[in-house]
Amino acid sequence: MTDGRSVEGEPDEYARILEENRRYVDAFDRSALTAAPISGLAIIACMDARLDVEEALGLRTGDAHIIRNAGGLATDDAIRSLIVSQEVLGTDEVLLIGHTGCGLERADEDAIRNDLAARTGRRLDIAFGSFPDVEESVRAEVERLRAHPWVRPVPIHGLVFDVATGRLIEIS
């Protein structure tokens, strides 16, 4: 159920996750990995559940830093994480990945804020980062990274993941 409670007799999602973690611990063999990614790659990607970044790119645990948020946007916080990735942990290449069918593409931010205000009784001026076109969004976010004075001048690539085919489309 969506309220966090389980239907009688069925385990809730949280309990299932804890059980899966117990199985994971039994087979855990990654204690020798460091915080620095093996490939030197940092990735900013959308949080969409259909985009399995590691699987789509053939990555394993420890290969890359993956920074995820709604829309795969180069927000101030994503850039903060990228700078830490570069300055502290040595990454030297960046991918920014958007995807087709993104919930933020053509989203009505005023409607979202109005719905939240109606539900909570509080109005906040939060930018959700909606955009009219995913390819243009990826281009703009890549340019924002390239222009940022603290982001190292390393190769920065923009891609769109097609949720219908799994294909990565090179944008910039």
What is the pTM assigned to this prediction? 0.88
**Domain positions in the chain:** 34-170
Question: In angstroms, what CA-CA distances link 163 with 9, 37, 49, 52, 156?
Answer: 34, 26, 10, 10, 22
Q: What is the pLDDT of residue 33?
A: 87
Amino acid 1: pLDDT: 41
* C-alpha–C-alpha distance, residues 20 and 3, integer Å: 21
Q: What is the pLDDT of residue 5?
A: 52
Instruction: Write down the pLDDT at residue 11.
Output: 66
Model pLDDT, residue 29: 85
158 within 8 A of 136, measured Cβ to Cβ: no
> How many C-alpha atoms does 145 have within 13 Å on its Cβ side?
33
What pLDDT shows up at residue 146? Answer: 98
Distance of CA 141 to CAs 15, 51, 137, Å? 38, 18, 6
Q: Are 92 and 39 in contact (CB under 8 A)?
A: no
Decide which of 3.40.50.2000, 3.40.1050.10, 3.40.366.30, 3.40.50.970 is the CATH code for 34-170: 3.40.1050.10
Per-residue pLDDT 10s for the chain (172 aa) are 445 555 565 669 999 999 999 999 998 888 888 899 999 999 999 999 999 999 999 999 999 999 999 999 999 999 999 999 999 999 999 999 999 999 999 999 999 999 999 999 999 999 999 999 999 999 999 999 999 999 999 999 999 999 999 999 999 8
Question: So what's the pLDDT on residue 90?
Answer: 98
Strand partners, 105: 131
